[in-house]
Structure formats: C-alpha cells, structure tokens
Amino acid sequence: MATPHSIEDEAVATEAVDIGTLLKENAALREEKVSLQDRLLRALAEAENTRRQASRTAEEARRFAIADFARELLIVVDNLQRTIDAADSKGPSTTENAALIEGAQATLRVLLQTLERFGVRRIQALSQRFDPNLHEAVMEVDDPAQAPGTVTQVVEDGYTIHGRLLRPARVAVSKRRVPAEPEFEDNDLGAGWYAGSETGTDEK
C-alpha cells in the first residue's frame, strides 16, 4: 500500500510550486522593467532632440527673419553709394552740393551700421580670389598685373547676413592667360624648304 500524504507534505509541495512560479514571474517582470526603462530613455532622448531642433529652427528664423527686408534696403545703399561716387567724380562742387553729399555720406554710414547690428556685412571682394560662393562674375578683363581669376573690379557690392550669403558681389575677373603660339618667319620657312631641296627630299 502507498503511504498516504500528510497535510504538511501537500502544503510543502504547494509552496514549492508557488515559489517556482513566483521566480519566473519575477524574472519576467525584471525583463519588462528593463524594456520599459529603455523605451523611456529613448523617448526622453527623442523629446530632447525635438526640443533642440525646434530651438535651433526658432533661432534661425529669428536671425534671418529680416533677410528679405535687408535685401531691399541694399538697393537704397547702392543708390546712396552711386550718388556719392558720381559727385566725387565731378570734382569740386558748390557749398550746397558739398552739404548734400556730406548728408548722403552720413546717411550711408548710419544705414550700414544699422545693417551690421543685425548681422549684415559687406563682402570684401576686390583683389580677392574669385569665389563662386560669394561672387558673381559679370565680365572678364585682360589685366597682366593680376593673377588669373582675381577680382579686379567690384561692379556691385555683395553682402552676407550672419555668415550666410545675402547677395553675391558682382565683379570683373582677370582672364586666364593662353600661351602664345610660336611664330615662324617667312625666311625660316624658305630656309627649311631650301635645305630639303638640297638633300633631295624635294625630288619626285
């Protein structure tokens, strides 16, 4: 006959089964906790990246918001500069004209200073190497005194805004030099033909 199980034995067996189940459940919960922590960290990182990107976008929008307005103001700058240059080219003027020119120069200075406060700066192009990122070539000139590809004249000033191109400088660029082909004189050609005839190469 089989020995009957006591109540204590059944309790111990039941407890053993429960401990095994609890250990498995505990391991599963630990894995789920690690997974949730990983997902939480990823979500926090993505949220921080989104916040930084939004901040950069807002900062760029703020810094470059006046780009179109500044580009229009450059037309006023150009006209003032042309007026001053035209007056200077005419030589001495009357007292009234001198006062007008001085007023135009003062207005130009204030306008350029105001633009600089908002990050707009003139491109220094004269005598610089031609840069297609900053310059727009409108003509080529033959200037032996300048290296090929050098800006020899600024037709219209260019500007940047916070380091970004606002308007390219329109410039004249020195031409690339083409080596001259050797010249032959008629006497040299005749001498060559005569030498060939003397050696019999001209015979048919």
Least-confidence region, from 33-42, 51-60, 155-164, 192-201: 192-201
pLDDT value of residue 195: 52
| 200 located within any domain | no
| Residue 40 domain flag | no
Report which of residues 195 and 100 the model is more confident about: 100
Instruction: Confirm whether 79 is domain-assigned.
Output: yes
Predicted confidence at residue 193, as pLDDT, reads 46
**Total domains in the fold of the chain:** 1
Reported as a single tens digit per residue, the pLDDT across 119-159 is 999 999 999 999 999 999 999 999 888 899 999 999 999 99
Answer whether 0.75 is exceeded by the pTM.
no
Give the pLDDT score at 50.
87
Q: Rounded CA gap, 15 and 159, in Å? A: 83
pLDDT at 188 over 60: no
Residue 55: inside a domain: no
Domain that holds residue 82: 67-174
> Residue 26: pLDDT above 60?
yes
